[in-house]
Structure 1
Amino acid sequence: MAEILPLRAWRYNDTLSDKIDELTAPLFDVVSEKQRQALYRNPINSIHLSVPLGENPAQEAAILMQQWKDKGVLLQDHLPGIYVYYQYFRLPGNDKEHVRKGFICNIKAYDWKEGILLRHENTIPAAVNDRIALLEETEMNTSPTHGLYTDEAFILEPYLDESIRSPLYETEDYQGVRDVMAVIHDHEIIRLFVDTLHGKQILLADGHHRYEGSLEYRKKQMAQNPNHTGLEPYNYHLMYLTNSEHDDLRILPTHRVLKQMEITDEEFLKELSSYFTIIPKEDPLELNEVIAGKQWAFGLFLSGNAYKLRLKPEVHGQIDWNFPAEVKNLDLTVMHYFIFEKVLGIYRMAQRDYEDLSYVRSFTSCIRQVDSGEARLALITNEITMDQVKRVCHSGAIMPQKSTFFYPKVISGFLFSSIKEDEFITAPAACL
């Protein structure tokens, strides 16, 4: 089953540790343009490696990374380790502090068909190509993806808790989250981590594009290597692993915003009424509350008018997409089938790259975009549950793109993982 390895991480020189909050960055797919421009002004911020600039950004990142190594900006740890990563956070309207506990390691980049690492979302091709190019040029994983393993006995948690008492880094990130990182070097404890994960399947929570980039890179390297053994560095991928049984694992909704459509508001509402019960609402800022906990319910903010939509149960069976029940029952499947395909005529495959459709995590941003005229309508949805993620993953099917938003996001810049021959530990026996 899942094979993980410790790593000798590349990290910022210890003399820069007290400035680590100036060197980290959001992940490439969530960093805003405004954040990018601010971070680019720091010449050694990690964003130059994870979201590089230039006419040939991947090549620019590779050149810069080598310069940082040569100058000692980045140094490789002497010993292999498991890097413990805790994120302390609060949710809006709640004073309780949550902590998501996990650890970063290398994991074999398994093909989907092997059934060891399971996905739940579609990817957008252009974003995958970007990640492949960066990996080819830099031979470095610049940020971890997020995977989930199941450990009902919480075998590893005492070792994580003990390690985090002696942190390498502690900072507050752009989300207002307190990020803390430590490292475990003890051989026996690392062996326990390796053995515990060996019998597990991994559910990919976040980072489908980066993981798929590693898969495609691995396939290219395998095709060029007649002596492929499976232990070469290109077989591995950097991942942050958390226990799916932990109470502090949170998934937030991702709403849909449509810039324009070819029919009038009246025609749109008339078509919707064939499938949904439509209830006008006075205050659009309550749309997320009136649908909370209700299956197949959505908030609609259309040209300044607010509505609650609820699918008529008798029409659900009309969904003719070739998906198992676990996917057909999802709110977002209902939304994408009945609203985007049946009402708006945007067919399923076209939805993945539809230019006027955007995915927005902030509820208030959805309302603002429609109010300002930037968008024609916003569709507000409930979050996917952890149970639904598990059911879909084990069904072998996938959800609509941008279905889940595991919160908080990990950040880039704490460490980097090389897949160069002379910088990577391949066999477990070599480091344990």
Structure 2
Amino acid sequence: MAEIIPLRGWRYNQELSKNIQDLTSPLFDVVSVKQREALYQNPFNSIHLSVPQGIDPAQEAAERLQNWKTEGILRQDYLPGIYVYYQYFRLPGSDQEYCRKGFMCHMRAYDWSEKVLLRHENTLPASVNDRIALLAATQMQVSPTHGLYTDPDFMLEKYMDEAIQAPLHESEDYQGVRDVVAVIQDARIIKEFVNTLKDKPVLLADGHHRYEGSLQYRKSQMAGNQNHTGQEPYNYHFIYLTNTEACAVRILPTHRLVTQISLSSEEFLKNLAIYFTLTELSDPYDLNEIIVGKPWAFGMYLYGKPYKIRLKPEVHAQINWQLPDVVKALDLTVLHYFVFEKILGIAQEAQRYSEQIQYIRNFAECLARVDHGEAAVAFITNAVTMEQVKTVCYSGALMPQKSTFFYPKVISGFVFSSIKQNEFYLENSACF
């Protein structure tokens, strides 16, 4: 099953690390334009490597990275390690603090067909191409993808709890989350991590585009290497692993906006009524609460008017996409099939590329976009559950794109992972 190994992380030098919160950045696919512009003002912020600027952004990142190495802005840890990463957070409207416990390492980049790393949703092709170009130019993985392993015995938490008592970095990020990073360099303990994962598959929680980029880069390198052995650095991927059995692994919903529809409001509502029961509401701010716990129910904000819509159970069997029943049963499959395909005429595959559909996590932003005329309609959704993620992954099928939003998001800038030949190999790799 999953082969993991420790890594010799690249990190900001000791002096710069004193203000690590000024150097970290959100993931490339969640950072807003406003956040980017503010972060770009710091010449050493990790945003310059994860979302580079310039005419040739990937080359710009490669040149900057080399300068940072030469000038000692970034330094590589001498010993390999497992990097423990804890995130302390609260959910909106709650005072309870959670701690999501995980660790960062290298994992072999498995093809999907090997069924070791299991995905649960589709990718957006443009984002994958962007990641391939960046990886090829820099040979540096700036932020880990988020994977999930299942260990009901919590074998590794005792080692992580001990390590986190001596942190390398601590900061509060843009989400209001307290991030703490530590490292384990004891070969005996690292072997416990390796052995715990070797008989387990890994579910890909977040970072499908970065992982797909690693796979495509690996394939291109294999094609040009007649002496490929499978041990080259390009065979490995930077990953952050957390235990599915922990209560602090949280998934939030990702809502849908449709920028424009060709139907009038009356026609659209009439077509919806064929498949859904419609209830007009008075307050749009009730939309996210009125659907909680109700399968196949959505909040809808159509040209400034709020509705609750819920699929009529008897029409569910009409879904004719070639999907297993566990995927057909998902709320988002219902929305994408009956609304986006049957009513709006956007075919299943075309939905991955459609500029007509936008994916927004923030509920208030959804309403504001409609109010400001930037979208015709917003669909408010329930979150996918962890059990649904597991079931879909093990089925081998895929959810619609942008189905899950694991919270909190991993932050870039604490540790970087190199797949350069002279920076990757571990002299004592046989110990692991």
Report the alpha carbon displacement of residue 265 of structure 1 after superposing the two structures with TM: 0.5
Q: Specify the alignment match of 1:135 in structure 2.
A: 135
List aligned pairs for 1:11-410, cutoff 5 A: 11-410=11-410
Deviations 1:35-69 (A, max 9, x none): 00000010010000000001110011001000000
Report the alpha carbon displacement of residue 429 of structure 1 after superposing the two structures with TM: 3.6
Structure 2 unaligned blocks of 5 or more: none
Tell me if structure 2 keeps the 8 A contact 1:231–1:427: no
Change (3 A) 1:113 1:3: same
Aligned-residue identity in percent: 66
RMSD in angstroms over aligned alpha carbons? 0.9
Is 1:3–2:6 an aligned residue pair?
A: no
Aligned partner letter, 2:275: Y
How far apart, in 2, do the equivalents of 1:294 and 1:405 lie? 19
Report the alpha carbon displacement of residue 372 of structure 1 after superposing the two structures with TM: 1.6
Report the alpha carbon displacement of residue 428 of structure 1 after superposing the two structures with TM: 7.0
Q: What SS class does the counterpart of residue 359 from structure 1 fall into?
A: strand
Tell me if structure 2 keeps the 8 A contact 1:233–1:426: no
How far apart, in 2, do the equivalents of 1:190 and 1:373 lie? 54
Q: What SS class does the counterpart of residue 273 from structure 1 fall into?
A: helix
How far apart, in 1, do the equivalents of 2:380 and 2:254 lie? 8
How far apart, in 2, do the equivalents of 1:304 and 1:417 lie? 47
Aligned partner letter, 1:178: R
> How many residue pairs get matched?
432
TM-score, structure 1 as length reference:
0.99
Tell me if structure 1 keeps the 8 A contact 2:128–2:212: yes
Runs of 4+ in 1 over 4 A off after TM superposition: none
Deviations 1:228-270 (A, max 9, x none): 1111000000000000000111000000011111010000000
How far apart, in 2, do the equivalents of 1:333 and 1:94 lie? 30
How far apart, in 1, do the equivalents of 2:431 and 2:281 lie? 62
Q: What SS class does the counterpart of residue 11 from structure 1 fall into?
A: strand
Q: What SS class does the counterpart of residue 245 from structure 1 fall into?
A: coil
How far apart, in 2, do the equivalents of 1:426 and 1:215 lie? 22
Q: What SS class does the counterpart of residue 122 from structure 2 fall into?
A: coil
Tell me if structure 2 keeps the 8 A contact 1:2–1:107: yes
How far apart, in 2, do the equivalents of 1:130 and 1:347 lie? 25
How far apart, in 2, do the equivalents of 1:429 and 1:127 lie? 33
Report the alpha carbon displacement of residue 227 of structure 1 after superposing the two structures with TM: 1.1
How far apart, in 2, do the equivalents of 1:374 and 1:335 lie? 21
Deviations 1:180-202 (A, max 9, x none): 00000111000000010001100
Tell me if structure 2 keeps the 8 A contact 1:4–1:105: yes
How far apart, in 1, do the equivalents of 2:139 and 2:94 lie? 42
Q: What SS class does the counterpart of residue 413 from structure 1 fall into?
A: coil
